[in-house]
Amino acid sequence: MGLLKSVNKKMTLTKCRAVFLDRDGTVNLEVDYLKSIKDLKLIKNTAKAIRILNRNRIKVIVVTNQSGINRGLFSINDLDAIHNELKKRLRRHGAYIDAIYHCPHHPDEKCSCRKPNNGMFKLAARDFDLKLNKCYVAGDKLADIKAAHNVSATGILVRTGYGKSEQDDLKEADIMPDYIAEDLYEAVKWIIKDMKRGKND
Ligand SMILES: [Mg+2]
Ligand SMILES: [Zn+2]
């Protein structure tokens, strides 16, 4: 009985949990519309950060605005090639992404999936049976933080990509990240601590 209890407890600690990652400027270097594999460069310690989440059995889900598609800058095939390469490189370092969701729309299309809107998060919640208010979002833009708060998740601003300049804009913004991290690796260490604090259980 005691064993069963502890097993169940362990399961509830990890079930329905995910960390959503922005892609450009958070996982890989921001290059102003990443169009091809040759410009794909992982930010330092990204694989290490994702590995920590994998080891803790937390889902890792990338949510990325890719308006370059509907702007005609690159195709869905180009995007697929980039994502396959991204997963391959991470795998080489023992890190695994559970899913990638992208929004192809131009901002003028006023879709429901472009961050800060919640479309991609809702879809992932359905696909993975997530409780979004127990999830975390790490990104380099205030739109990522707004998206997090739109679904009652915890939002972490990383100071890679546009993160530093976005931090400067915080004074005028009506939004505050739950934490500001130097990079994804530091963000993940904070997330694990935050989960252990149990505040989010
Ligand atoms: Mg970004
Ligand atoms: Zn969209």
pTM (2 d.p.) = 0.91
Section 71-100 average pLDDT: 98
Name the residues annotated as catalytic: 22, 24
Q: Residue 12: pLDDT band by 50, 70, 90 thresholds?
A: very low
Check pLDDT > 80 for residue 94. yes
Q: How far is the CA of 104 from the centre of ligand 2 (A)?
A: 6
Could you tell me the residue ranges of all domains in the chain? 16-196
For residue 30, the CA-to-ligand 1 centroid distance in Å is: 7
> Reading across the β-sheet that carries 136-139, which strands appear in turn?
99-103, 59-65, 18-21, 136-139, 154-158, 179-181
Whether the CB-CB separation of 148 and 137 falls below 8 Å is answered with: yes
Superfamily of domain 16-196: HAD superfamily/HAD-like (3.40.50.1000)
Task: Flag whether pLDDT at 1 surpasses 60.
Answer: no
Across the range 129-139, mean pLDDT stands at 96
Ligand nearest the Cα atom of residue 102: 2
Question: Per-residue pLDDT tens for 107-117?
Answer: 999 999 999 99
39 pLDDT exceeds 80?
A: yes
**4 compared with 88, residue with greater pLDDT:** 88
Beta-carbon contacts of 159 under 8 Å, excluding residues fewer than 6 positions away, are 140, 167, 180, 181, 182, 183
Assign 187 a pLDDT band (cuts: 50, 70, 90).
very high
